[in-house]
A and B are shown apart, each in its own frame.
Chain A
Amino acid sequence: MTELKIAYSPLNDAALILVAEALGFYDSEGLNVTLIREANWSNIRDKLAYGLIDAAHILAPMPFAAALGLGPSMGRIIAPMALGANGNSILVSAKLKARLEDGGRLDTSLLGSARLLAREVERRRKEGLGRLVFAVPFTWSPHHFVLRHWVASAGLDPERQIQWIVVPPSRMADMIKDGVIDGFCSGSPWPQAAQLNGHGEILFSDPDYWTLKPEKVLGVRAAWAEANPEATIALTRALLRAGQWASAPAHREDLIRILARTASVNAPWKAIELALDGSGLTFDPQTATFPWISHAKWFMGQMVRWGLLTPDHDFDQLARHVYRPDLWRDAAAPLGLDCPVADEKTEGGQAAGWEIPAAPHNIIMPANQLFDGGVFRCV
């Protein structure tokens, strides 16, 4: 048995890590795993850097930000798989929601709601009110990029016309209630829990922004992976098996039960259930766990786009340094999963299901479309 410590944050998208433990997949892959629940992402980053843990549930942009010198080091990290797709929602205060409505009706398309947001920003400017405040759980997070993209789609300057703050998801609902923030983006089930408690309303969720949006990955210390190459594949396989189990509709109740445990996500059953239905969260190992190099480049592109990073870096090399589709294939092939031939794909522009070349059989991918029709091509 290979010993290892895996850390996670209390969110629905930690499901694969929790399911593999509950169903004994680690055990059957020869791994003796200790799970550690962490209260914030900074702990996870530092514990990976100091070798206090070997692997973790991390926000996909984290290893790139750290490797690019944005904040403290994380040590060398590899990501052999994604831990699913989608799962976040954007909630706004009841007050802001009312302001966005036209005669009691709200244009719920993202382009529509962004235009109404721009109108509200202009009203506040004219009346000499302060900027709207939006909260995200971490600077280097998909949440932050999604909100900035949405705001900018109506011609607003996200840097100067909106105020951003980082707040832990567990405190976001209270801050909405107290009027400290006007909206937030968070992983499920926190926006759903806030809405159930009457602290605002969900405006949109990940799939409204991008039908198959990358989110969390499995981060493994490169030094550990190099010392334990077989165990790294075994770990990836245990989590892919968890994905097969978790994406079967028949296992839904058991999945909620595992997530609702105090030691796991510790949120109300109803909120977890609402989030599984409404946030587009998918664990399908075939279509939502491959570590696409194009996802890695998209994240780094967002850092440049929003002025958080200078563009003079070798993004292709860094993407391939962290994301490891080769390891995914080694782990997935014995499970009978089809392995994509290419490491990259064009992101966006697919309004319906589409086929990608894979072995032994091609994969029918779900729609892959961004709200503004944008298409991201790797050159």
Chain B
Amino acid sequence: MAKTVNVLIIDPDEARAEQVAEGVRADNGDQQTVIRQERHFELRMLRDFDPDMVIIACESPDRDMLEALQVANEQVPRPVVMFVDRSDDNATAKALEAGVAGYIVDGFNPKRISSILTVAAQRFAVTQGLRKDLDKAKADLAARKTIDRAKGVLMASRNLSEDDAYKALRKHAMDTGRPIQAVAADILAVSDLLKPGDSQ
């Protein structure tokens, strides 16, 4: 019977940790993998869970806690960077770039190290990509609202149709070489000043 492998994942982002856990499970094939996910690292986790490998998000400040344990103890997970040959292993650098670092106990199957790290890095990269998409979607939505409100101002003040209001906005954007939502934001800023009753 294959030995179980205990993997501890430390990530303040729980959804991302779940992604990494799924990836590690899928990657580990026949071996039984026990995964524990935590938002913060605590010293007692080493005693209670006895991890063979720790995967930690670089955005967690707790990485320095984990790092310091090796100074006083022999039997604790040590940084992966100390086990791999830097010249022929890109997995560690790629993982760092994606925002994740690994720690393993002595005797952990070296072939598995880069495989698990690579999986973790891929999952991090995917989450990062999704976050960017989400941010972009939010920004796009905000821009559309601004443009819609600016169109409304033009329709009311210059008595234009919706289509003509949009054309006027677009023409001004092209003439001044600025994004259309910036022109729309300017119109809204000025229209606030022109609101009746505001000036005394």
Question: B61 — which chain A residues lie within 8 A by C-beta?
Answer: 39-40, 168-171
Give Cα distance in the complex from A40 to B66, angstroms.
11
Distance in angstroms between the alpha carbons of A39 and B59 in the assembled complex: 5
Contact count band on B? 20 to 34
Whole-angstrom distance from the CB of B57 to the nearest CB of chain A?
Answer: 9
Q: Is the CB of A43 within 8 A of B63?
A: yes
- Please name all residues of chain B whose beta carbon is closer than 8 Å to the beta carbon of A166 when the two chains form the complex: 64-65, 67-68
- Judged by a CB distance under 8 angstroms, whether B21 is at the interface is no
Interfacial chain B residues near A38, Cβ < 8 Å: 58
CA A47 to CA B64, docked complex, whole Å: 14
Whether A249 sits at the interface, judged by CB under 8 Å, is: no
Query: Which residues of A are found within 8 Å of B71, using beta-carbon distances?
Result: 70-71, 139, 308
Minimal Cβ-Cβ distance residue in A for B67: A42
In terms of DSSP, what is the predominant structure of the interface of chain A? loop
Q: Mark B72-85, 1 if CB is under 8 A from A, else 0.
A: 00000001011000
Does B155 lie at the interface of the complex (its beta carbon under 8 Å from any beta carbon of A)?
no
Output the nearest chain B residue to A144 by Cβ-Cβ distance.
Answer: B68
Number of A residues near B (Cβ < 8 Å) is: 26
Cβ of A41 under 8 Å from chain B: yes
- Is the Cβ of A171 less than 8 Å from the Cβ of B96? no
Interface of B, helix, strand, loop or mixed by DSSP? helix
Is B18 at the interface (CB under 8 A from chain A)?
A: no
The reply to whether B67 and A52 contact each other, CB–CB distance below 8 Å, is no
Q: Does A1 contact B (CB under 8 A)?
A: no
Residues B96 and A168 in contact, CB atoms below 8 Å apart: no
Assess whether B153 is interfacial by the CB under 8 Å rule: no
Please determine whether A50 and B96 come into contact, CB atoms closer than 8 angstroms: yes
Q: Does B118 contact A (CB under 8 A)?
A: no
Complex: A41 Cα to B60 Cα, angstroms: 11
CB pair B101 A42 closer than 8 Å: yes
From B40, B60, B64, B82, A72 is in contact (CB under 8 Å) with B82
Known: A43-B101, A50-B93, A72-B79. A171 touches B67 (CB 8 A): no
- Report chain B residues within 8 Å CB of A46: 79, 81, 92, 96, 101
- Pull 6 A–B residue pairs with CB atoms less than 8 Å apart, ordered by A: A38-B58, A39-B58, A39-B60, A39-B61, A71-B79, A72-B82
Q: What residues make up the interface of B, taking CB atoms closer than 8 Å to A? A: 40, 43, 58-65, 67-68, 70-71, 79, 81-82, 86, 92-93, 96-97, 101
User: 6 additional contacts, CB 8 Å, given A40-B60, A165-B65?
Assistant: A50-B92, A71-B79, A72-B82, A166-B64, A169-B61, A171-B62
